[in-house]
Structure 1
Amino acid sequence: MSLTFSTTAALRFGTGFRPGQTPPESVEEMLAQLDAGRREALVFPDGGLAAGRERISDTVSELAELKLAGKDMDAVTRRVYRVRYLTGLNNLLAKDEHARFMQAVLSPNGFNERLAAFWVNHFSVSTRKEDFMRLVVPVYEAEAIRPYMAGRFADLVKTAVLHPAMLIYLDQVKSFGPTSPQGIKRKAGLNENLGRELLELHTLGAGSGYTQTDVRNAAYVLTGMTVDRNTYRARYAVNMAEPGSRSVFGKSYGGSARGQGDIAAMIEDLAATPETRNHICRKIAHHFLSDTPPPEVVEAMTTAWQRNDGDLTAVYTAMLRHPRSWDNEGQKAKLPFDYIVSGLRALSAEENDMRDLGFAPVKTTMADQAIDGESMMPAMTKARDIDSKPLDPATRKLRPNPLTVQAVARLGQPLWRPQSPAGFDDGFSAWIAGGPLADRIAWARLAAAKLGGNRDPRDFLQETLRDAARQDTIDIVSKAPNRQMGLALALASPEFNRR
């Protein structure tokens, strides 16, 4: 079956149909979303990027005061304040997560939103790495990924890899040149994590010919990059940098003196290699088109990359203009985040439908409270008298919305929390299987019950899938015993779960 341009544009390259929003009718309209997306005011972090940065600054001050006051506290009181502090961070993250859903569901720039999700997954970091990452990661997507994902790939790599979120996540802040002044003073050494992932994940790709020596030398070149813990911005500390010259993938960096320019030069050179453009272009096509993307499409993308100095808009254009990119619908499975976003868009969800549910009811004691999903009791074995104290309202947790933040975690893709630097699996079989499908059906029933209203399931199917709806799905939805079940069947249909 050959689908119309607008249907494929909305389902394969966008975030799905939303009543009242007109899907793109041409490649030019799709590409225009990139500029529109750059100009669009983000609703996350909660309140916008400036608000997210301000919360980092405020929390740094709060933590400094807490540490100072802690010198005069007993162990029990310190634990109480620690609980309050962590719960506050978790609540701020919860607000950012809900705002992230609003951004994807309400934005008319679906292609731009899909690219943002792709690149955040490519340059994966996790809010679980340490306490402050709950504040830094939402800012990371807003300031290091989105503004650069339509420009040169080399610039995107530099902003992503050298952002505090990545430097913390891959332990670059713990990497010292062994013979640098700070390395000698602290008896600290090299950490290879960022150097390895820069080559294996972010640029060249696994199996591209680099060696363990390249990994180690890249880590040496990266020494000096760290994070200012007062501002949570990246900085270069020359007294942490390993002196001397190092060769990475055939090119030398450094000399008698080393500087941040050596890092920028290394990233530029890695981004310009044939191995990188092949790896990245294939990964983009794998995400949008098929687990085995057409070689001719990937070739067109790499050619555009080479001719345009790694300009990503030129790469996207080559993909969108190739006829094979519009063939064979249903080759990719929607990841959980994409599935939920497209379902909420189809149901015309508004801001209030996606907000957190407010604070959990006050429980009897602090021992009942949980931090980040784990009971606090194991940590209280030496402070049992807390168990008899009423719970301070400041330690109450925000309840996640079961249609958004709670649901995406249950379906296997918790926001900003991948299990590894490789990000979430983008393969078809990872998401279209028995267990994941059962969870999606449960979500479809809940969403239909909460947001379905009196919609006619047959009209809903036409609005949300258009000519992608197969006759057997139309028949099943039409025969549903009631409207709510019909809507749930449409949301759970194979066509709605695929691209």
Structure 2
Amino acid sequence: MSFDPTLADIRFGCGLSPNIAPADNVESILAGLQANDRMSVRFPIEEFPEFRKRMVERESVAKQLRKLRGTEEGKALTKQMRVLNKTARVDHFGWMAMHLLRRTHSKTPFVERLEGFWADHFTAAGKAGILRRAVSPYVQSAIRPNMTGQFGDLLVAAVTHPLMVHYLDQNRSAGPNSVNGKRKPGKFGLIENLAREILELHTLGVDGPYTQGDVVELAKLLTGLTMQAKQGRHFQKNLAEPGPETVLGKSYGGDNPHIRDIEAVLHDLAAHPSTARHMARKLAIHFVSDRPDPDLIAAIERAWRDSNGHLTEAYRAMLMHPSSWGAERPNVKRPFDFVSSAARALAVHPRSIQTLDEKELKQRLFEPMRLMGHIWQKPSGPDGLEEADSAWITPQSIAARLQWSVIVPRLLVPRLPDPRVFVETALGPHVTETVRFAAGAAESRADGIGLVLISPAFQRM
């Protein structure tokens, strides 16, 4: 089995488009990873350092409000707080639209798929206040710029990012023998959340060669890693447990704790053979099959180790392997993959999305995806979205997909294409006679488009 341009757009891209030709070989796909990030320019999402200005302002207002609550000045501050929260909420939905438009119009769609994969692998979310709207800025600043270099750099950028520190409660972790720990015994405690997820999810995998002792030692090494609105990532030495700490048999740190100790252990974990194996399997499952060819996993793992975790080489190994190009398409599109591939097939014009207000974005995108089983940027846990197809193929999900397929496209495209043409556009050579006949026999354009979008041929990658 060899490279197939149409399959490349469906399996490793964002679906077929009537206006954008698929890449004609693997090297073209990989070259797209090094190209200028035109989608970030055309459909901008706020960088996290800019988002932190919102956090600083909110903290300032909250501090004043605590002193002036119940006064006329307090009422004005309460209104200001509501405006800050509303603006962030509106922008949150606007950034969802930007993610969709990037997938709809990108000439390098593998970039967008990789962003989705790594954002899910390094799941992080705000738990309260304005930080609940910080996921897209986190992805834009920590994930997107680091998807094609060394995995160690991506790992450091993601797991020491302020949003991850907040999400996994690292901000509240302190060494029992730290300056603050000794000063106020019982007030500060060691929190293992980030350490456990680094080992179990982000690097070695749940079956990796680590023990509970390694989790505790890594948690101690991570103490001092905090976040602040004004500074972003911050190392607070008074919270750091004096070292050394031993993780997987190697000693780190000492009596003068520093952020460099944390970066050192992360780079070592990134280079561990078990990380190569874990990540190779995860890439193969996400992009190719829930039950991938063991030889595909081995090829990705070998490339990962030979290149010391250079991500582009891992992608190359995946894209060059024959089993990546099997005609059978076993993976089901998750809700955002489905919605964005439909928008791409329909060539939805940017204005049709950018002019939608918050309520309309909720009605046409957010709420339908929720009914399909995916609450946008609100994970149920740090392990992210389910990869198993069974999680997405339920009676409720199928009904929601069908309803969206028939109703929403006509709201996004003023004049729907002829279903007899659209079926070829959306499915290419993978169209079946059954779907072709259904599209042509539909009573209306909306029905015909809906039948194509809900067909198994379109639902799979």
TM tier, smaller:
over 0.9
The TM-score, its normalising length taken from structure 1, stands at 0.86
SS of 1:402 mapped into structure 2:
helix
- Which 10-residue stretch deviates more, 262-271 or 80-89? 80-89
Q: Where does structure 1 lack aligned partners over 5 or more consecutive residues?
A: 360-397
Match of 1:408 in 2: 369
Other-structure match for 1:365: none
Q: Deviations over 1:374-402 (max 9, x none)?
A: xxxxxxxxxxxxxxxxxxxxxxxx55343
Amino acid at match of 1:11: I
* Cα deviation 1:326-384 (Å, max 9, x = unaligned): 0143210101011000000111112222236336xxxxxxxxxxxxxxxxxxxxxxxxx
Partner of 2:57: 61
Aligned-pair identity in percent equals 36
Q: Is 1:171 aligned with 2:169?
A: yes
Tell me the amino acid that sits aligned with residue 71 of structure 1. Answer: K
The answer for the alignment partner of 1:491 in structure 2 is 453
Partners of 2:221 and 2:243 within 8 A in 1 = no
CA-atom RMSD in angstroms: 2.1
1:430 aligns with one of 391, 395, 398: 391
1:24 corresponds to 2:23: yes
Cα deviation, residue 71, structure 1:
1.7
Tell me which moved more, 269-278 or 134-143: 134-143
Which residues in structure 2 correspond to 1:397-476 (within 5 Å)? Answer: 399-450=360-411, 451=413, 453-476=415-438
Q: 1:62 to 1:259 in 2, by over 3 A?
A: closer
Residues in 2 aligned to 1:220 and 1:429: alpha-carbon distance in whole angstroms: 39
Partner residue in 1 for 2:34: 35
**CA deviation map 1:231-280 (0-9, x unaligned):** 4x101111111002111122111223222121111111111111110000
Could you tell me how far apart the structure 1 residues matched to 2:40 and 2:305 are? 32
Q: CA deviation at 1:122?
A: 0.3
SS of 1:198's equivalent in the other structure is helix
Q: CA deviation at 1:66?
A: 4.5
Q: Is the 8 A contact 1:56 1:135 kept in 2?
A: no
SS of structure 2 residue aligned to 1:348 = coil
Q: Which moved more, 1:344-353 or 1:188-197?
A: 344-353
The reply to whether residue 159 of structure 1 matches residue 149 of structure 2 is no
Asked whether the equivalents of residues 333 and 459 of structure 2 are also in contact (C-alpha less than 8 Å), the reply is: yes
Give the corresponding residue for 1:216: 216
Which range moved further: 172-181 or 29-38?
29-38
What is the count of residue pairs matched by the alignment?
A: 455
Q: Is the 8 A contact 2:54 2:84 kept in 1?
A: no
Q: Any residues of structure 2 matched to 1:76-115 within 5 Å, and which?
A: 77=75, 82-115=81-114
CA contact (8 A) 1:461 1:490 kept: yes
- Kindly state the Cα deviation for residue 454 of structure 1 after the two structures are TM-superposed: 4.5
Distance 1:318 1:295 in 2: 13
CA change 1:150–1:300 in 2 (3 A) is same
Report what 1:255 is aligned to.
Answer: 254
Report the counterpart of residue 14 of structure 2 in structure 1: 15
How high is the TM-score relative to the length of structure 2?
Answer: 0.93
- Using the TM superposition, name which of 487-496 and 105-114 deviates more: 105-114
Please give the alpha-carbon distance, in whole angstroms, between the structure 2 residues aligned to 1:59 and 1:70. 17
Contact 1:45–1:139 at 8 Å: present in 2 too? Answer: no
* Residues 1:190 and 2:190 aligned together: yes
Q: Which residue of 2 aligns with 1:140?
A: 138
Of residues 333-342 and 423-432 in structure 1, the stretch that sits farther from structure 2 once superposed is 423-432
Partner-residue secondary structure (3-state), 2:246: strand
Tell me how far apart the structure 1 counterparts of residues 119 and 87 of structure 2 sit (CA, whole Å): 25
Q: What letter is aligned with 2:432?
A: R
**Alpha-carbon offset, residue 44 of structure 1:** 5.8
Q: Which protein has the bigger helix share?
A: 2
Q: Mapping of 1:362-373 within 5 angstroms?
A: none
For 1:135 and 1:483, locate their aligned partners in 2 and report how far apart those are by CA, in whole Å. 37
Contact 1:160/1:166, CA 8 A, preserved across alignment: yes
Write out aligned runs for 1:376-387 (5 A): none
- Residue 227 of structure 2 aligns with an amino acid whose one-letter code is V
Given the superposition, is the C-alpha separation of residues 179 and 23 from structure 1 closer, same or farther in structure 2, using an over 3 Å criterion? Answer: same
